[in-house]
Amino acid sequence: KVLACPENTPKQVYDLMKMCWNTKPTSRPLFHHLLKSLNSSYDDYQKKKVLSELV
């Protein structure tokens, strides 16, 4: 059983978390994939934050 999605966690981040919990180690993401995905999520978050501050 995996942790339920924490409140206010973007789906993209939660999906990545679930990939890391895969019972088969070879199916888990490599570090460079984690870094790329987290950077992308952060960039998306920053863009949305800036846009919401403009409104």
Which sequence spans correspond to the domains of the chain?
A: 11-54
Distance CA 18, CA 16 (A): 5
Distance CA 13, CA 37 (A): 8
**Residue 26 predicted with pLDDT over 90:** yes
> Is the pTM higher than 0.85?
no
pLDDT tens figures, 8-22: 998 999 999 999 999
Mean pLDDT of the 21-50 span: 94
Q: What is the pLDDT of residue 2?
A: 85
pLDDT range class, residue 34, cuts 50, 70, 90: very high
